[in-house]
Amino acid sequence: MDPIFEELYPQLDQDKYLHIVYKDRWGHLRPIITELYTGSDRTGGKAMTLDQVVDFMKAKYSFHATPAQYRNHLKSWEIGKRVTKDMKNSARDALARRKRPATSTSQVIIAREGRDQQMQPHKLMRHLKDQSRRRCVETIVPGILSSFNLPYEAFVASISSNGDGPSPSKLTGSTPENLKIESPTPLSPGHEVTTPSPNMQLVYQKAKEHRAMLFLQGRLEQLVGAMDREDRKLFVQYFHDFYINSIRMAREWGRQPENRRTMADPIYFSQRSSIDVPSYHSGLASSPMALEPLNHIDISTAPTQLCNWSIHVPHRVVEDDGSWSMIPLEAQIQPQPTTSSFTDELHGSILSGTFTKVSTEDLPFARDIIMDAITSERPALELDAWKLAIMAGNPELLSKLLKDNYGRVPDGIEKIHPLHLAASFLNGGSQCCKVFEALLFGLQARYVFSHNTDDQGHTILDALMVSILRSHTKISPGSVSHAFRSGNRFPGEEMDICGRWAPETPRVRELFQQGYYRVPNTWKHPFCHTSVQAICHSIIAIYTPTCAPNINKMMSGLFIRRCTQCGMELKLGPLHSLVVTTFYLASSGIMGETLFGAIAVLLCLLNLGADATMTANISVEDILDSPEIGKCCHTDMSPGDLMERVPKEIIDDWANDCKVGWGCFAEILSRAKKHGHPQPDADPDIDEPELSEVDSDTDCCVLGGDIHDDWLHIKCHDADMGLLWAAIQTEFLTYRRINEGDFWISENFSPRALKVWLSGDSAEFHTPLVTNQMMREYSRCGWFTKTRGFPLIRTAQEVSASYFMNMDIYERATYTQIPDLSGLWESLVHT
């Protein structure tokens, strides 16, 4: 027996614990067994093999046990000589975060049983070299390349703003408690180390490779923790530069610079008041010059409160009398032929790295691994191309991507939730519902039905409600959905629904570079007609076909609460969710809010079959974040019941316009509930009358049963609701707030007259649109039918008895062809 172990001999018989039952002796002898097996100061660091431990304990302590028994106890005590792969990987990451001179692999210390043990450098090196031999090409998480929508300053702020998240100082991953890196010995002047040792160079390289793997796998939280602040900043900035350049390229792809009237036209913006959007380069636009440091912008100064807007025009812009419309064809966006595909250009951009000024040598990850994965997995890059086209609001690019892929969407497109993404980046200031049209043509029949809910439990309708709340209220994201608490920001925060700014707008970029991660409330304005039109037309495009999900079977993923007493999860129905959205528009909205938009969305949903009698288990107290602890406050409520439960003292604090709008909203729900769930009014056995024989006052709906029940989800309400829906459509198709100080609603539509009429204090709706007969004829349910084409989405000319629209301001309007919904829905029904 080696004399070095003599210090571990028992000094007295009682040190052998022979007077204790056998099973309890293990605990008392554990320190001796541990020192023998792992080595200690008393053994000079020398350790025994397991068989030697068995013999020593038998000879010196009269302790008889088999090697298997020792192995089981050592395992339960978590004692071992073996340095696991996880420990070696932790050592690699900890060393890679230390870039001080003289950092060495010999400084890694493992703490075991209160004793420090050096990790042998050769074992760590062998592990790292073995990783190289086993390296394979990783697959890419769909959409990861285009996910870095925030620069570093805002990225850090968004993480640290989350109450459950780390502070900025704790973003760097912590070293395990049983592992520490000793500080290098200070070097004397003239002996400083300028280059890492070969071992440390291998550590840095393997850490970069590991980070690349984490990125491709989408394990961003772990990736961020694996880097120090300097590396983390370079990493985020690199991919944010790619995001900005790519979304700019996607927005301009295939459009003629000389004809476009969009937010991308620098000439266009020189004619507009205080709207600042960067000039866009044609084609790739990958020059680093596009990403020069921005001049300081005072973000307290809000951009203009004046919207841009989209005007739908027929496929041929001709007046009924045969004369050409005053809308010039050159004002319409025309597709521009391109010689290469957007996906190829995206590939070239990421390979070349010309989109950023971050040097390739400075990148804190193994760029070659990511490039190999991108090159070998073109379908993954195609998903990023689709994602960017959706976020950029370019339906022409979506159509081109579909054509390039032989009319098929890329495999795995459901992983980026394209329709939810389109709702989050909805741009009523340019394309209205055209992105949804392009997506639905590609996705085909049952996609909406089977993918109406995303990974966060939000429906597409929820995503549209979130866009309303994000753009027109001051409510915090975490109050709307638990999914938004991580990061504490709404999806699409960098895109204005009214087209006033986009991710690449200089003021938005400067805002985020100053560390803000949300758009200030001072930049927002009320739920305007531009937003109303985009929301309503998108709802119509998505939920009208019979193959789409039934609105009444879609429980909302927003404002979910859980009873503090019984634990029941409390979910809202679609109209309940709209009621809560309307409540926050009134209580946390922007000055000037009228609730016209909320009323428009309500009428739209009711016309698509939303059931005002549907009940859901709801607690108003929980929604208002004032639950009574220890008491079940929830009960079954209809949307109207929910409105009645809102405390009067809250409503009394609202602006008068919101009180009027809230009252109108409640009266409409009351009427809808009174009439029950609407059924088609047309009798399929009765011949459909000619359009010229039917007007809005007849009892028989001109649209017929095939439209109302067999083909589309359109329900027919009473004629009064049809009149109101027609008036609302006419209002948002013909009026915009042109100047600061103008009203948000035109003089042709009077909410106060609407309230008087709905309350029964007037037999007629005394508003100019009705009394002056300013609208064309419409069906009993409020759809305009007197012009050719499908009746659900109309142009201003098709709803107006005469020209009174104030929106023909070419420097603020984008003219888009009316969606071909009839062709779309016909293809959906027959597929």
The residues spanned by each domain of the chain are: 6-77, 554-676, 716-809
Cβ contacts of 693 within 8 Å, gap of 6 or more = none
Q: Does residue 269 contact residue 500 with C-beta atoms inside 8 Å?
A: no
Give the pLDDT score at 753: 98
Give the pLDDT score at 134: 62
| DSSP H helices in 253-287 | 266-270
Question: Across the chain, what does the average pLDDT equal?
Answer: 82
Distances in Å between the alpha carbon of 450 and those of 56, 151, 414, 417, 433?
68, 35, 10, 11, 21
Q: Are 197 and 104 in contact (CB under 8 A)?
A: yes
More confident residue, 386 or 166: 386
C-alpha 494/C-alpha 519 separation (Å) is 7
pLDDT at 735: 98
CA distance 513 to 506: 10
Cβ count within 10 A of residue 558: 26
Question: In a 3-state reduction of DSSP, which class is residue 367?
Answer: helix
Torsion of CA 555, 561, 565, 568, to 10 degrees: 20
630 has pLDDT over 90: no
pLDDT in tens, 425-442: 999 999 999 999 999 988
Strands 813-817 and 309-313 turn out to be parallel
Distance separating alpha carbons of residues 610 and 628, to the nearest angstrom: 32
Q: What is the mean pLDDT of residues 341-347?
A: 93
Give 296-357 as a DSSP string. P--TTSPPPS---EEEEE-SS-B-TTSPBPSS-GGGB--B---SS-HHHHHHHHHHH-TT--
pTM above 0.85, yes or no: no
A 10 A CB-CB count for 614 gives 19
Q: Would you say 713 and 677 are in contact if contact means Cβ atoms under 8 Å apart? A: no
Give the Cα separation of 187 and 337 in Å (integer): 64
Please report the pLDDT score of residue 706 as a whole number.
59
Q: What angle do CA 367, 371, 373 make, to 5 degrees?
A: 120
List the structure tokens of 623.
Answer: 């929604």
Say what the pLDDT of residue 196 is. Answer: 79
Binned at pLDDT 50, 70 and 90, residue 333 comes out as very low
Instruction: Return the closest-CA partner of residue 48 out of 7, 113, 112, 2.
Output: 2
Give the pLDDT confidence score for residue 677 in this predicted structure: 58
Residue 374 predicted with pLDDT over 70: yes
| Residue 527: CB atoms within 10 Å | 31
Q: In whole angstroms, what is the distance from residue 212 CA to residue 206 CA?
A: 10
Q: With bands split at pLDDT 50, 70 and 90, how would you rate the model's confidence at 304?
A: confident
Q: Are 572 and 555 in contact (CB under 8 A)?
A: yes
Enter the tokens of residue 440.
């639905």
- pLDDT of 289 reads 34
What is residue 301's predicted lDDT score, i.e. its pLDDT?
Answer: 75
Chain centroid to CA 540: 22
The C-alpha atoms of residue 464 and residue 251 are separated, in whole angstroms, by 21
DSSP string, 467-524: HHHHHHB---HHHH-GGGTTTT--TTTTS-TTSS--TT-HHHHHHHHTT--S--GGG-
* Pick from 800, 669, 791, 642: nearest CA to 733: 800
pLDDT in tens, 231-287: 999 999 999 999 999 999 999 998 754 333 333 333 222 233 333 333 333 333 333
CA gap 579, 582 in Å, rounded: 5
Q: What is the pLDDT of residues 185-209, one digit of tens each?
A: 666 665 565 677 788 788 788 888 9
Reply yes or no on whether the pLDDT at 307 is more than 50.
Answer: yes
Please tell me the predicted confidence (pLDDT) of residue 256.
56
